Structure formats: structure tokens, C-alpha cells
Amino acid sequence: MTYQRLSIDPKHTALLVMDYQLSILGSLSEAEGLLSRMGKAIAVVRQYGVQVAYVRVAFDDADYDAVPETSRMAPAIKAAGRALHSESPATAVHHRVAPDAGDIVVRKTRMGAFSTTDLDARLRERQIHTLILAGVTTSGVVLSTVRDAHDRDYQVYILEDAMTDRDPHVHDFLVKKIFPQQAHVITIDELGGLLSSEDEGSST
């Protein structure tokens, strides 16, 4: 995709790597390709000093107890059991895209990246106003976070090739019909150009 006069300011941008954890990737047939592409995206943004933030889903004992029976999430959480416990290795960020020192890492207990974390506050204190989103799945964490980030007045970019859904038709529909209403949909190959164009603009 080509955008006129579109650029990303690295100093005020964060890449959100969402739910790239063993317990979720293990159920996806395209996990290897996703990990390779995500690793490439992380490497690109680090070259420009973009803040990298990680979101993972995991529950401690109190979190399990706090989920009401009326929640639509309750059956899935109970079925997952200890596999989603905060101390389980299965909830760790995959080692191929693991955090470095200085990265933000938050643990959530609901679908989106913001509602059960302090992510918004940690981004604001770093003067972040632009987000690049990547995650699994497209209809899960990505959809929830796009809407929430848009409502919080972030400028949002979507890395369409750093996310997937168990239903490819749902992924395509969201990327082509829904996300463009709240975000710029881009590819990993476009990242470097968008980040460097901001550098060039600020140096003139």
C-alpha cells in the first residue's frame, strides 16, 4: 500500500507485540512464518529507536477467582486451566521475539491490551501517541485493541502481515473493511520507509 505524506515519528511511537506467546502460537499452523515476520518488524523498529511493548494474557490465582460466571470468557478460561496461569511457561512471550531491557511488558486478563493493564499510563509517560499493532489473533486482541486505542486518540497503524486469525476470511474482512476506519493498514516491508521519511522530514 502507498500513502501520500504518511510517516511515523519514531520518538513518539510504540510497537505493540500482542499475545505472541507459546500457549497461543502453538495452536496456529502458520506460527513459524508469523514469528519470522514479527522478528523482522521488531528489528526494523529498533533501528529507529521505536519503543517496543509486549502484551501477554495470563491469570494469577486471584484473577481466576475474580472471573464471574456471567462472563462469556469464563468457560474458555476454565477450560484452559493452568495453561494460562501467570507462572506457566506457556504464557511467556515466545523466545524468538522476546523482550529486551527497556521494553514495556504488561500482563492482561481480558481480550484487549488496555482494559486490565497500566499500558496506557506507561505509554503516556513516554509521550507515545502513535501505535503500531501486531498480534494474534486478528479478531481477538487486535480488534479489541484497535477500537480501544482509537477511542483513546492514539494514531494507529496495523501490521497486516504480523497477525492472523483462525478463520482467514475473518482476517481479510477486518483488515480490508473494518480496520481502515480507525487505523492505517500497512505491511512490515513498509515500516522502514515510513519511519525514515519522518527522520528526513525532521532534518529539513
**Is the pLDDT assigned to residue 1 strictly greater than 60?**
no
In a domain, 182, yes or no: yes
The three three-digit cell numbers of residue 106, written as one number? 504488561
* Neighbouring C-beta atoms of residue 92, cutoff 10 Å: 16
Does residue 1 lie in a domain region? no
| R_g over Cα of the chain | 17
Task: Give domain status of residue 152, yes or no.
Answer: yes
Per-residue H/E/C for 111-169: CCCCCCCCHHHHHHCCCCCEEEEEEECHHHHHHHHHHHHHHCCCEEEEEEEEEECCCHH
Instruction: Determine the structural domain holding residue 60 and report its residue range.
Output: 10-202
End-to-end, the C-alpha distance of the chain in Å comes to 26
The reported pLDDT for the residue numbered 65 is 87
CATH number of the structural domain spanning residue 158 = 3.40.50.850
Question: Residue 183's pLDDT band (boundaries 50, 70, 90)?
Answer: very high
Cβ atoms of 42 and 17 closer than 8 Å:
yes
Tell me, yes or no, whether 3 lies in a domain.
Answer: no
Task: Give the chain's count of helices (H) and strands (E).
Answer: 8, 6
Confidence of residue 69 (pLDDT cuts 50, 70, 90): confident
CA distance 185 to 188: 10
Q: Which residues contact 117 (CB under 8 A, 6 or more apart)?
A: 55, 106, 107, 108
Tens-digit pLDDT profile for residues 37-57: 999 999 999 999 999 999 999
- How many domains, in total, are found in the chain? 1
pTM, rounded to two decimals: 0.92
For residues 20 and 75, the model is more confident at: 20
| Amino acid letter for position 152 | R
4 in a domain, yes or no?
Answer: no
Please tell me the distance from the alpha carbon of residue 185 to that of residue 179, in angstroms, as a whole number: 7
**Is 46 inside a domain boundary?**
yes
- Is residue 192 a part of any domain in this protein? yes
Average pLDDT over residues 170-189: 97
Tell me the pLDDT tens digit for each residue of 78-113.
777 778 899 999 999 999 999 999 999 999 999 999
